Amino acid sequence: MSSNNVTFCYIYPGVEFGARMITIDGKQIKLQIWDTAGQESFRSITRSYYRGAAGALLVYDITRRDTFNHLTTWLEDARQHSNSNMVIMLIGNKSDLESRREVKKEEGEAFAREHGLIFMETSAKTASNVEEAFINTAKEIYEKIQEGVFDINNEANGIKIGPQHAATNATLAGNQGGQQAGGGCC
């Protein structure tokens, strides 16, 4: 495993390694999630997926300083290959391992502030703040949709309105190369 193991979870159209339905303002939102686990072997592949992502979770391990130290590289890569409006949330994971912490919460908050990211600490083991991380990222994307920042008529932005209830079913999904995303969401 690479020493700069930073995890990205993309809210990404057309790649359905995981999907989650959430409700925002009474509207059903489908998040399609692709998790690279930050492995270097996925780095060249991830670049092609940045383009259509409406949001990303950039996750580091609070018990491993090296993952935090490589955030700038991963963030630059994401920004270089993505839509400039992509919502990025910085996640400090493993908050349940406070006794092994190598990265202070304040450091994560400062990095997020400096780079215009949303910040949260989570624990995948205890599920603390995990749901909230997805919901908060989706809310930011939804707000950008409401403000007109994302053109919902251009699926290249990573956003697709479901046809059944166009006014109430905003789906953060899309299609790649004209193929419908798996799972029959839309």
With 90 as the cut, is the pLDDT of residue 132 above it? yes
pLDDT at res. 88: 93
Nearest-angstrom CA–CA distance, 177 and 109: 38
pTM exceeding 0.75: no
- What pLDDT was estimated at residue 20? 77
pLDDT higher for 72 or 45? 72
> Does domain 7-171 match CATH 3.40.190.10?
no
Q: What are phi and psi of 62, to 5 degrees?
A: -65, -15
Residue 102 has pLDDT above 80, yes or no: yes
Per-residue pLDDT at 115: 97
Dist. CA 35–CA 85, nearest whole Å:
20
Q: What is the pLDDT of residues 77-91, one digit of tens each?
A: 888 888 888 899 999
Q: How far apart are CA 102 and CA 182, in angstroms?
A: 40
Per residue in 17-46, pLDDT tens?
677 788 888 877 777 777 665 555 555 656
* pLDDT tens, residue by residue, 170-182: 333 332 222 223 3
User: Where do the domains of the chain lie?
Assistant: 7-171
Q: What is the pLDDT of residue 148?
A: 84
Nearest to 133 by CA among 172, 92, 73: 92
| CB proximity list for 70: less than 8 A, separation 6 or greater | 3, 4, 6, 60
What are the structure tokens assigned to 137, written together?
């990222």
Using alpha carbons only, give the angle 37, 170, 56 rounded to the nearest 5 degrees. 20
